[in-house]
Amino acid sequence: MTAHKVCPWWLGYFLASPLRRLLQNPEKIIAPYLQPGMRVLEPGPGMGFFTIPAARLVGDKGRVFAVDVQPKMLRELQHRAEKAGLGSRIETRLVESESMPLADLAASIDFALVFAVAHEVPDVLNFFKQISATLKPGANILFVEPAGHVSENAFSEEVAAAGNAGLRHVASPDVRGHSALLQKMVREEFATGKSR
């Protein structure tokens, strides 16, 4: 069973705390997928545990779009980004839980990070469809869910929903929790149900 309760804003401070690095090293987790100049989408960034390292890794020509349903998460994220001198590389957007205004990003994103957020979303298929529409063909999503909140079965259902949104499961990276590397299928593959 998945819960659709949104993580309280004050928990954002714990999630972005340096202590978390003892369990999860954000640079190590995302660096394999990022290069300078890339455009990254991060739905549910919280206070930026991954956003700030991502902004460093994409360099001054890259951009990270961080979209969240809670203004307090985004305000603190922006504050931390400014403090780190990375404010100009990060764009925050406040979104509705069922609808993310991302039409201007259509087919322009190189990589998306969906970390510990899908179980908070009311309609996972719709969520992945909206993310999928922003991705360039062949772009990757690193999708991770916390094992404490999400069962193996629930995670498989979420990965299946991602498949129905045109996102193929291509690998299972070694990240604490449940993890899947998804790849945006090209239109023909999705239409015919064929995988490369």
Ligand X SMILES: C[S@@+](CC[C@H](N)C(=O)[O-])C[C@H]1O[C@@H](n2cnc3c(N)ncnc32)[C@H](O)[C@@H]1O
CB 6 within 8 A of CB 120: yes
- Paired with 97 in beta bridges are none
Rounded Cα distance between 78 and 91, Å, is 9
Kindly tell me which of 114 and 190 has the beta carbon lying closer to ligand X: 114
Coarse DSSP helix, strand, coil percentages of the chain, rounded to the nearest 5 percent: 40, 25, 35
Among the listed ranges 61-69, 159-167, 169-177, 184-192, the one in contact with ligand X (CB under 6 A) is 61-69
Residue 45 touches ligand X, criterion: CB under 6 A = yes
Kindly tell me which of 93 and 169 has the beta carbon lying closer to ligand X: 93
Q: Which position among 38, 40, 58, 67 is part of the footprint of ligand X (CB under 6 A)?
A: 67
Rounded Cα distance between 42 and 153, Å, is 24
Residue 142 touches ligand X, criterion: CB under 6 A = no
Contacts to ligand X from residues 97-116, by CB under 6 A = 97, 115-116
Q: How far, rounded to the nearest angstrom, does the alpha carbon of residue 43 sit from its chain's CA centroid?
A: 5
Q: Which position among 2, 38, 44, 162 is part of the footprint of ligand X (CB under 6 A)?
A: 44
Residues in the chain, how many? Answer: 196
Least CB distance from residue 110 to ligand X, whole Å? 19
Kindly tell me which of 6 and 133 has the beta carbon lying closer to ligand X: 6
Q: Where are the alpha helices (DSSP H) in the chain?
A: 11-15, 26-30, 51-58, 71-83, 124-134, 152-164, 187-192
Residue 94 touches ligand X, criterion: CB under 6 A = no
Kindly tell me which of 97 and 108 has the beta carbon lying closer to ligand X: 97
Q: Which position among 29, 43, 110, 181 is part of the footprint of ligand X (CB under 6 A)?
A: 43
Q: Which position among 2, 15, 58, 166 is part of the footprint of ligand X (CB under 6 A)?
A: 15
How would you class 149 by CB atoms within 10 Å of its CB: exposed for 0-12, middle for 13-18, buried for 19 or more?
Answer: middle
Name the CA dihedral angle for 30, 60, 41, 186, rounded to a multiple of 10 degrees. -90
Residue 73 touches ligand X, criterion: CB under 6 A = yes
Residue 53 touches ligand X, criterion: CB under 6 A = no
Contact set with ligand X (CB under 6 A): 6-7, 15, 43-46, 49, 67-70, 73, 95, 97, 115-117, 120-121
